[in-house]
Each structure stands twice: as structure tokens, then as C-alpha cells.
Amino acid sequence: MEYIEQPFLFEVSPHWTVTELTRHLRLLLEGDESLQGAWVEGEISNLSRPASGHMYFTLKDANASLRCVMWRNDAARVRFIPKDGTAVEAHGSISIYEVGGQYQLYVDALQPLGEGALFQEFLRLKAKLEAEGLFDLARKRPLPEAPRRIGVITSATGAALRDILNTLRRRLPIVQVTLAPVPVQGDEAPAAIVQALETLNRIAEPEVILLARGGGSIEDLWAFNDERVVRAVTRSAAPVITGVGHETDFTLVDFASDMRAPTPTAAAELATPVTLLDLKSNLVEIGQILTNGVVSIIDTRRDAIEWTRNQLNMHSPLRRLQSERQRLDELSRRGNSAQFHRLQLAAERLNGLENQLTALNPMAVLGRGYAVVTKNKKVISSVTQVKEADRLKVRVKDGEFNARVTGTDR
Amino acid sequence: MAKTEPKPIGKLTYEEAFSELEKIVLALESGEQSLEDALSLFERGQGLTKRCSQLLDEAELKVSKLSGESLEPFQEPE
């Protein structure tokens, strides 16, 4: 090789440091939009998850492999347990780890292969049912405040049922629960749920229905995106509360139901806005109203008695009686015997009247503290209503006591 | 108030007891009864209040399950 030719080569060839070249490559990759925010399909291998929480793995297919890294925050959001050999779709951006000189996929979302297609199907069905008006807010029915009969459609063995029953037991144990046990995932699930909605409404006539399932992957929850199930929910005679999966899961039945709860437990809470405690304090209040009612009736009677007594006093003939008596004395002094005799008779009559008045004086009744004497719940107002040994109830201002007739006077 | 054969209080369900209680409260609030009637309404009302509280205190969640077209008791898994 001729030394003389070298300078020419140097003139035309770019000259890089490793750092410069690597940075240049990185910028090239990062500038290619098709490599940023892209989905990559492959099978996981060499998965490692060190204490840092970041996730490192390789995506492979038959002919190539791709280094992947997923930072801790993104990795924590992965909803399934990835293993070597799992076929996945990874979403992320291609870049270069300059120190290692390696290009790799920086993954921000990871899902089992096929889930993306399911999501597309979900969106298509959602748009279709929405266009039919099945999700209209105007369709949503009000929920009962304190239902006595609650229907539950879920698996007989799942945690969702346990959560629901525990919540109902804690909040409103006087409800009657009817469970329609169904498979909540798998091919038979949609038809079983549709059937359960129909039968439950017809046989148990619940005031509200809880349709629930615990958390799971999008495939696990898929029965709740089934068109037949969505339509059956909108046909249900009783309003339906859905509690499917976790807080972040939305299924199509959630849009069609009358109320969407984030979890099965929350569904049971929404079904029982009025709790046992509320009912108890309501009863205490009613007891108070009851007492006030009867007290005010007694007060009204008491006022009437008071008024009558005043009227009686005002018009009492006692005063006239006294002046007549005085006249009688005068006459007797004058010795008019005929007149005297006649007036003496009148005086006797007046004395009798006076005695009667005293007996009738309501003050005597008031003085006894408004005692109301009853026999077999009938108020006793005459001695003829009782006989010896009768059991009586005597109600006084602050309570009542029992008494027995030991004799009668008339 | 319609006086249809008053059931013994101890046999009333919560709903029955409570709805009768509500009627009694309304009647007493109108205050149009004789003292005798008011007292017996009050007595019945007190009994009904007690019955309702007792039913609430003793309440135990009843769970049945659909089996085909009929209902049967449901044994909760432990």
C-alpha cells in the first residue's frame, strides 16, 4: 500500500469517536417515527427482574431477537405474569443504550399476544352498541334506596361473591339475597349470564341485581363484553349494578348497566345506600314522634278540662247560693214563717246542688294526676263497668300500674 | 286506619311492622282520635317499634340460590 494515498482517504471518510457514532445512531433511530411508540410481537426469553424492579428480557421469533428493557413504573402496570416462552406484544420505542453499544426496545406496555385484537373488537362492538343507544344515560334506572330482595349473578365460588355477601351482611343484613351461580369466564359464560338474568328476574323478583366478577386479564373478563350479555342487561326488569374486575377495568356491560361499580364490594355498597344503622336511628326517631303525638293529644284534653273548669267557676251558682242564704237568714230573723219554710226547702235543694257540684268538679280528677283507668283497654268511667276482683290498668302521668278491684261503692 | 284483623305483633315481618308503624304515626299526628283510641294506637306503635328493633338486631343475611327454576338454600363456602 502506498503511504501517499492515505491522506486522500482521510479527507473523504467521516471520522467518529465511538461516542459520537453511537449518539448519531441513537438519533437516527429515535428520529424514525415507525420505531417510536410501536408494537412488537415476539416470545419472551432471558427474562430477569432484579431487585431494582426494572424488567429485562429478549423478544425472539424464529429468525431474530431484540433486547428489551422495561422500567420499574411501567413493569408494575403489567397485568399478567410474563414468563420465558410467553408470546407477547410489547409497546415501546427503539433506542440505543450507549454504554453497552446495544440497540434495544424500551417497553412501556406489555400484553399477551392477541389482546390487541380483542381490544379492537371491544372498540368496534362498543361503537355499534353505543350507536343503538344502549348506553344512553336516559336509559339508566334509579336504584332502590333500601331493597329487601337483591339478586346476585356471579360465580358461586369466587372472591366476588364472598366480598358481596360480607358487604351486605355488614351494611343491611335484613335483605334476602338470591344467587344465580354462573361461570364468569369461558365459552359458556355469556349464555349462562343471559339465562341467569332472565330466570332471576322472573323467579326471585329482586329489586336490584348485582352482576359481578373479580379481577382478571382482558380475556378473563371477556364474557362481560359479549354482545348477548350487554343486551340482556339492558332488558333486565330489575336495575343492574355491575362490579366487574378492578377499578381500572371497563367492560361493555359497565356501559349498559344502570350503575357501574369499580369492584364487587363497591357494587354491594351502592345497592344498599341505606344501612341497618340508618334504619335503627330512623326507628328511634319514629318512637319519639309517636310519644310526642300521644303527649300532644293528652295536652289537648288537659287544656279542654282546664277551660271547662274556668267556665264552671265563672258561672258557678255558689255565689248566688251564698246571697240566697243571706236572704234566708234575714227572712228568718223577720220571722216570716211561711216564707221561711219555703226558703228552707230551697236551701236544702241548693245544698244538694252544692254537693253535686263538688263531686263533679274536674279539679278532683286533675288532683289525681290525670289517671286513666282501663279494663281490657276500655276506659272506665262508671262503677258499673267493674266488679270485684277485676284487673285494671291505671295510667298516670309517668307510666302505668296494675290494680285490682277489691270492692265497689255506688 | 283500616282495622283488618291485627296480626299478633310477634308474627309481623319487618316490612309489615314498619308500614303499620308509619300509619300509626300519621294517625297520631292528625290527633283526631278519642283519648282511648290514641292510647291504644300509642301502645300498638310502641309494640311495633320494639318488634322492628328486635328484627333489626336479630337480622341475619338470608342467601338462597337459583337451581334451575327453583330456589334452594345456599351454603356459603368457608
Per-residue pLDDT tens digits for A78-118 = 888 898 988 999 999 999 999 999 999 999 999 988 777 77
Test mutation, B60, B61, B71, chain A, max A CBs within 10 A: B61
Nearest to A203 among B60, B61, B71 (CB): B71
Nearest to A293 among B25, B49, B71 (CB): B25
CB contact under 8 Å between B69 and A199, yes or no, is yes
The domain in which residue A297 lies consists of 279-367
CB contact under 8 Å between A165 and B59, yes or no, is no
pLDDT at A228: 96
Q: Is A7 a domain residue?
A: no
- As a whole number, the mean pLDDT across chain A is 86
**Residue A102 sits in the same domain as residue A132:** no
**Mean pLDDT, residues A355-376:** 60
CB contact under 8 Å between A289 and B29, yes or no, is yes
For residue A364, name the pLDDT band (cuts at 50, 70, 90): very low
**Residue A344 sits in the same domain as residue A384:** no
pLDDT tens column, A95-106 = 999 999 999 999
pLDDT at A332: 66
Say which CATH number the domain at A100 has: 2.40.50.140
**Residue A138 sits in the same domain as residue A231:** yes
Residues B33, B27 contacting (CB under 8 angstroms): yes
Where is pLDDT greater, at A60 or A356?
A60
- Find how far residue A48's CA is from the centre of its chain: 45
**Residue A269 sits in the same domain as residue A204:** yes
pTM beyond 0.80: no
Which of the listed residues A79, A113, A147 is the one where a domain comes to its end? A113
**Residue A122 sits in the same domain as residue A60:** no
Q: What is the DSSP letter of B9?
A: G
Out of A26-35, A300-309, A353-362, least confident range: A353-362
**Residue A67 sits in the same domain as residue A140:** no
pLDDT at A97: 93
Test mutation, A153, A290, A295, chain B, max B CBs within 10 A: A290
- Show residues of chain A in contact with B25, CB under 8 Å: 286, 289-290, 293
Q: Is A326 a domain residue?
A: yes
pLDDT at A362: 43
> CA A44, CA B28: separation in Å to the nearest integer?
77
> CA A348, CA A343: separation in Å to the nearest integer?
9
**Residue A198 sits in the same domain as residue A244:** yes
pLDDT at A363: 42
Test mutation, B13, B28, B30, B37, chain A, max A CBs within 10 A: B28
- Find how far residue A270's CA is from the centre of its chain: 4
**Residue A78 sits in the same domain as residue A128:** no
pLDDT at A366: 44
**Residue A323 sits in the same domain as residue A258:** no
Nearest to A177 among B14, B41, B63 (CB): B63
| Size of the A and B interface in Cβ pairs below 8 Å | 111
pLDDT at A220: 86
**Residue A79 sits in the same domain as residue A225:** no
Q: Kindly list the residues of chain A whose beta carbon comes within 8 Å of any beta carbon in chain B.
A: 148, 156-157, 162, 165, 168-169, 173-181, 196, 199-200, 203-204, 276, 279-280, 283, 286-287, 289-291, 293-294, 296-298, 300-301, 372, 374, 377-379, 395
**Residue A177 sits in the same domain as residue A315:** no
Determine how many CB atoms are found less than 10 A away from the CB of residue A92.
22
Which of the listed residues A252, A274, A296 is the one where a domain comes to its end? A274
> CA A55, CA B4: separation in Å to the nearest integer?
75
Q: Is A303 a domain residue?
A: yes
For residue A357, name the pLDDT band (cuts at 50, 70, 90): low
Which of the listed residues A256, A274, A292 is the one where a domain comes to its end? A274
Residues A59, A105 contacting (CB under 8 angstroms): yes
- Show residues of chain B in contact with A291, CB under 8 Å: 42
Where is pLDDT greater, at A399 or A154?
A154
Q: Which residue of A has its CA nearest to B44?
A: A290
For residue A155, name the pLDDT band (cuts at 50, 70, 90): very high
Determine how many CB atoms are found less than 10 A away from the CB of residue A284.
10
Nearest to A290 among B45, B61, B64 (CB): B45
**Residue A187 sits in the same domain as residue A327:** no
3-state secondary structure of B63: strand
Test mutation, B21, B36, B63, chain A, max A CBs within 10 A: B63
Residues A70, A63 contacting (CB under 8 angstroms): no
Measured in angstroms, the CA of A148 and the nearest CA of chain B are apart by 9
Residues A283, B52 contacting (CB under 8 angstroms): yes
Q: What is the DSSP letter of B70?
A: E
Among A252, A140, A267, which residue's Cα sits nearest to residue A211? A267
Domain count, chain A: 4
Q: What is the DSSP letter of B57?
A: H
> pLDDT exceeding 70 applies to what percent of chain A?
88
